[in-house]
Amino acid sequence: MTQANDLKAWQQKAQAQTELVLERLLPSETQIPQRLHEAMRYVTLGGGKRLRPLLVLAASELGDADLTAVEQAMGAIEMVHVYSLVHDDMPAMDNDSLRRGKPTCHVQYGEATALLVGDALQTQAFEVLSRPTALPAERRLKMLSVLAKASGSLGMAGGQAIDLANVGKPMNQAELKQMHGLKTGALIRAAVVLGALACPDLGDGEIDRLDCYAAKLGLAFQVIDDVLDCEADTATLGKTAGKDADNDKPTYVKLMGLSEARVYAEELIAEAVALLQPFGEKAAHLRQLAEFVTARKN
């Protein structure tokens, strides 16, 4: 098998594992309140790149991971990501009607339910991560702390607030980097760090190195997102294309130009991959995921 085929096979297997994990960690739609649970499953199951759970899994391959902890982290981080999408799609925010090729939550279930779906998915993430594993309790608390810090007002939600405050305003590259570092980067870093924390044999030095890898990866991911949003059409993306430009949102493409933005992303990925060198072959999937980010089409 070629390396590209190998990654594709691993990705598909890991995506299937993510689906099973989420299926198991979400409340059943036979449980009361059924409609809320049905909607939580509607938005979470059946699609998405699953980049964050894949990063958890790939990072966990660097050490002697506790499988239960890895799967809890995979599920929890995807729930946080999906909750943010559900709220972000609402009329008060981006007012998107299509997500992953399906009607968005508020279109399908109404705004009040969409609000509760996002709220309850966030809670479920923390509930899942507070369940028992074989890891030392201090390590489990650290995982909860990492997820909370990455998701809140000094992480993802903070990035969304900065984004919101800057619609229609010019931003320089440093400001854009800070905004995306919180909005997208914080959760991508948390994914990698959670995967590493699920390995009791990985220490602070190794986790810090992985955090640096993830910071560069997260930034590259956002730059490529801007590139794709500029290039792609609605059919390929499975979401409404050109929204960012329509909304006068600052993007890397507007700031740097299309080809320069792509070059910048490729440089970031090269730096990220270089940081993985001490981990040798165990980092194969983290390396391949980084390269996938610049190669992806949606």
Residues that bind a second copy (CB under 8 A): 27, 31-33, 35-37, 40, 83-84, 87, 90, 92-93, 110-116, 118-120, 122-124, 126-127, 130-131, 136-138, 140-141, 144-145, 147-149, 151-155, 157-158, 160-162, 164-165, 178
Give the nearest distance from C-beta 164 to a second copy in angstroms. 5
Give the nearest distance from C-beta 277 to a second copy in angstroms. 33
Angle between helices 3-25 and 67-88 (to 10 degrees): 80
On whether the CB atoms of residues 184 and 221 are closer than 8 A, the answer is yes
Give the nearest distance from C-beta 25 to a second copy in angstroms. 12
Report the sign of the C-alpha dihedral through residues 105, 111, 113, 118, in that order: positive
Decide whether 84 or 251 has the Cβ nearer to a second copy.
Answer: 84
The runs of H, that is alpha helices, within 27-182 are 34-44, 51-60, 67-88, 105-109, 111-129, 137-151, 156-165, 173-180
Quick one: which of 75, 90, 63, 99 has its CA closest to 27?
75
Q: Please, which residues have CB within 8 angstroms of residue 230's CB and are 6 or more apart in sequence?
A: 242, 245, 251, 253, 258
Decide whether 18 or 160 has the Cβ nearer to a second copy.
Answer: 160
Give the nearest distance from C-beta 148 to a second copy in angstroms. 4
Taking the CB of residue 253, how many other CB atoms lie within 10 A of it? 22
Decide whether 105 or 256 has the Cβ nearer to a second copy.
Answer: 105
Decide whether 13 or 131 has the Cβ nearer to a second copy.
Answer: 131
Give the nearest distance from C-beta 153 to a second copy in angstroms. 4
On whether the CB atoms of residues 146 and 211 are closer than 8 A, the answer is no
Give the nearest distance from C-beta 19 to a second copy in angstroms. 20
Decide whether 117 or 214 has the Cβ nearer to a second copy.
Answer: 117
Q: Is 258 left (phi over 0), alpha (psi -120 to 50) or beta?
A: alpha
* Alpha-carbon distance values, 228 to 29, 52, 241, 243 (Å): 36, 19, 9, 12
Taking the CB of residue 3, how many other CB atoms lie within 10 A of it? 11
HSE value, Cβ hemisphere, 13 Å, CA-based, for 129: 30
Decide whether 106 or 285 has the Cβ nearer to a second copy.
Answer: 106
Instruction: Find where tokens 């590139």 sit.
Output: 227
Decide whether 126 or 284 has the Cβ nearer to a second copy.
Answer: 126
Give the nearest distance from C-beta 11 to a second copy in angstroms. 29
